[in-house]
Amino acid sequence: MRRPVLLAALVAMAGGLHAQEQSAPSVELRVAGPPISAEATGQAFVYGDPRAIDPQREPLSQAYSMLGREDLSAQSDNEYAPAPCAPDAQTVTGEAEVLARIVDEASRHRVVIINESHTVTLHRYFSRKVIAALRPLGFTVLAAETFANNAGAGADPVDIHAGLPYVTQNLGWYSREPVFGAMLREAKGLGYRFAAYEQVYDPDRVRPGPDDDWRIDIRDRETEQAQNLAAILSAMAPEEKLIVLVGYAHAREAAVVGEDGWDHAWMAARLKRDHGIDPLTIEQTYCRGSSDSVRLAPPSADKQGWFDLYVDHPIAAFIHGRPAWRFAQGEQAVPIPSALRPTDEAWVIEVFAEGEPFDAVPVDRILVAPGDDVRLALKPGRYVARAVRLQPATD
């Protein structure tokens, strides 16, 4: 892989961090040449300009989150606003205590389903902690909604790339995001095997028309997801256990039949009802901001039985445009190298672990416009950085 070096420097901690922080282990950052076009990456769709997005067709907040700007996501997404859940006598508070409770509950299940917001990366950081904590219990397979499923049309990307020492961006969409990538990187290091279970894309599938019930698509997708997970479980050794990463309501295990008779059963509910597999379901999107520490919260009366455990995270705070939790858990706030500071257009800055190719999931990615006071978030180590121009909008 060609990586011309224009700059080599030990990058100090971000401006505003003082003497005691200056002695922290260093981040060595090399710049791999001048900015390149989005097309030159081979994955131009990752670098679309969020300002050109039609919010009626694609969540603006998810686009900003993929580009490392959750501070901008928070301006348009109520998932960053408080939605507190009242405590009760059984409330468990603190990361260690919450993880201990999850481990205890998981010891009585073969399947654990964890949901997330596709915008709030703190959920991926916490899921990473859960994945590590459950490994000693015999959890060996990690399935994720984002993994591309090519069933019947060749091997899945998770199988094609299983032997790589890094996590490739070719596994799926959300897994291209650096915090998701870090979660998968650690899972791979712990010995997890990855599995794809998403509904298989079929261009010939007959979809509901504009006058048909949109719930048909949801029903079919949830049904196929549950079937695929049941097949994965049947192929696993009896002593092996499975973790499933999903977005939002896919983890809801209570099937609700509406007044019109429609079966509102999401994937977890179908896995439980139709396949006899009772998962431990962990919810991260319903409660937030009840405390300055992660905790478990009881659901409101109208949500009883939807999920087993409700994780209540603190509201996100931002430092230099980045979630504060990233610096609290050991990453350093690293200034953008002068060679990568844009002057007349926004660039996407990506940082890769030294020795890994550019098709690996980057360690960090951030959208930087001229004049932005933002930082990279990196642990001590050696890295290669590049700048990518945004993909021009098309009519």
78-104: per-residue pLDDT in tens?
999 999 988 777 789 999 999 999 999
Confidence of residue 4 (pLDDT cuts 50, 70, 90): very low
Which one is predicted more confidently, 202 or 135?
135
pLDDT of res. 116: 98
pLDDT of res. 14: 39
Tens of pLDDT, residues 243-302: 999 999 999 999 877 767 777 899 999 999 999 999 999 999 999 999 999 999 987 777
Report all structural domains of the chain as residue ranges with CATH numbers, in order of start: 7-69+322-389 (no CATH), 82-312 (3.40.50.11550)
pLDDT at residue 194 is higher than 60: yes
Range from 121-125, 182-186, 206-210, 310-314 carrying the lowest mean pLDDT: 206-210
Q: Please give the average per-residue pLDDT across 159-185, as a whole number.
A: 97
pLDDT of res. 210: 58
Tens of pLDDT, residues 97-154: 999 999 999 999 999 999 999 999 999 999 999 999 999 999 999 999 999 998 666 7
pLDDT of res. 151: 66
Summary mean pLDDT of the chain: 89
Phi-psi region of 261 (alpha: psi -120 to 50; beta: other; left: phi over 0): left
pLDDT of res. 91: 84
**What whole-number distance in Å separates Cα of residue 228 and Cα of residue 196?**
8
- Record the tokens describing residue 319, joined without a space: 């430092």
